[in-house]
Structure 1
Amino acid sequence: MAERLRCAVIGAGVAGAEWVARLTRGPRTTVVALCDAHPQRARELQERYRIPRLYASFEEAVEQPDLDAVVVAAPNHLHAPITLAALKARKHVLVETPLALNAKEATRLVETAQAMKCLLMPAQELRFNRASQLARACLHHGELGEVFHARAWWRRHQWPRPGTWRAQRNQSGGGCLVDLGQPLVDLLLYLLNDFQVAQVYASGQILFGPHTNHEPEPNRAPAPVAGIFDVEDTGTACLVLKNNRWLNIETSWGGHFQGDEPEQGVEILGTKASLRLFPARLYRQGNLGMECILLNALKPSHPEDCGQHFAQCVLENKKPLITPAEMLAVQRVVDGIVVAAASGKPVPLKP
């Protein structure tokens, strides 16, 4: 195989444009094809990065014989069909999260990848963050003692327009609990190296998204705008692990937050110390009281960009940071969160 992975990017929206930029400047990747159903925005992106070929049909794009890999950056409901077509064409696939809309779809993708002997990897960006790797090493070496609780949050003052695919449950799979919650679920379980979730609780509400005015007029509800918005824009989830540890997930697309606070965060509590991200900080009792240690020494053994890690795994036949079993475990948890939020009842998960 060539020194650089020859990629086709499926999707020329915001995510697709970002992937084209990253893959173009990456040392192990090059973009040789772009595919999108909207010709104008696809052509603009093609011209900007001088991509050799442009396609309107993903079925045609993935069949090109000179491709090594496909990067799927399309709306969520298209992840599974595009990924399946690419795998059947014996292409390696890096797909934006979520991997699929449900565990049934995800299982079929994993099984097809194994049958075709192709690498399938969801772009779990938070795993590759330097702070996440520092935290993982800290936990692995027992610096926290026995971990008894963890929580993660992602709060963003930005929600999709009503009528767009992200605002419609049948196309997105869910709102902020899927969009922001799924990466947090993956990160917490990865950091703790424990994917054995026994039960999930969840709650979601629609508070901000359907309204045009971010700041409503006094004493008057903002007028709704046309278009479907049937996904939660604020939501929480609680995961109960089989060892009875509880993990909390907090997500929101809207709210009133301090502008200088990071929108993402993780807190892990142990009997000897605690960890906070981002950045990675270790809190423990010292001779002079509580001390805070900023962790910044570790250099990861893999690229911090998940796209370059994906390319390295394909080109050098290395094992990826994300295993098929972990992909399916995370998908089952997210499925449980979606059901729990809709029903208001706890959802037990099968092993």
Structure 2
Amino acid sequence: MNTLQLETYKIAFQEQAYIELNQLIKKQSYSSIFILVDTNTNEFCSKFLSEKIEANVEIEWIEIEPGEEHKTILTCNEIWKTLSENGADRKSLLINLGGGIVTDIGGYAASCFKRGIDFVHVPTTLLGMVDAAIGGKNGVNLDSLKNQVGIIRPPRLVLVDVGYLATLPPEEMRSGLAEMLKHGLIANADDFFSFEDLSQFQVDKLPELIRDSIKVKTNIAEEDPFENGLRMALNFGHTLGHAIESYHMESTSKAKLLHGEAVAIGMILALKLSVEVLQFDSNKCDKASQIIRTYFKTVEFSEDDITSIKTYLKHDKKNSAGNVNFVLLEDFGQPKINCKVSDEQIKKAFAYYKSLQ
């Protein structure tokens, strides 16, 4: 597949990606190279990447613990200390090998160290490939609040090799699928409905679907790199999705949810809110919701849960002047940003989600 040449960086695929990486290393003459991994990617992916890199300098590995609870400024501090202790300078390169947590935190750490060193993302999860590693957003959580501290700064290169997906458990694949479904709903309904019948799905088409999904995000992010308007459309399903994810992360009685699992719920809620607020076709809402539901487990919410989830909405990054702003659909491929939603409409959306069980 052809490399995507964006305004400030490249996204390269399969074997061509390693050619691009080695050309970058040679051209920039980096003084040192560091590779950030978590314990999982270190075990399952590091050997493969190390065999592909051609470099005349020593490569140092930095390992962090996996999981959202470690996506913090404290982990960044450990990365910075390791970089400093091993002589990293402004001409060093940080390669982030892992899922969305590794690329988010690695990009942020690189962007701040010595006021910014080059970094490359090598996403190893579907979520990382189609979402987290794309678009230049890097950051960490603030306690249980998602991505509250961060910076928008693009990598030099994103390397997409679907071979890494063979290391993933099914739930991690589904987590990434949520973002692909989102891209379909906001921009390309044909891609969304390609997942309607799993029995007809052809695995060999996955690289092409991943590339299509990436193009949806890059087209939007390139037009609005700092999220002043259009890019907010990429947050479809994320307003309540992030609130649900944060609530489950902080609760001692609730099972943790993967990002995609929470966003899948958020998308169904947003589809129903689109019916209530923008008169989105209810039959389309039902059809899309059923497709999403087939891939994700049902989560139960009590009235107390819903009340608690709504308290997290005030931290959503799209908010302005105290208003909670939602991204909703006027139709497939026609998102509308800055929509106002009432408590009663949110209650109806949760009731609708429950009715699908």
Structure 1 and Structure 2 fold alike (TM over 0.5)? no
Q: Which has the higher helix share?
A: 2
| TM class, shorter-length | 0.3 to 0.5
TM-score (ref. length: structure 2): 0.34
TM-score (ref. length: structure 1): 0.34
**More relative contact order, 1 or 2 (CA 8 Å, 6+ apart):** 1
Q: Which has the higher strand share?
A: 1
- The structure whose Rg is larger is 1
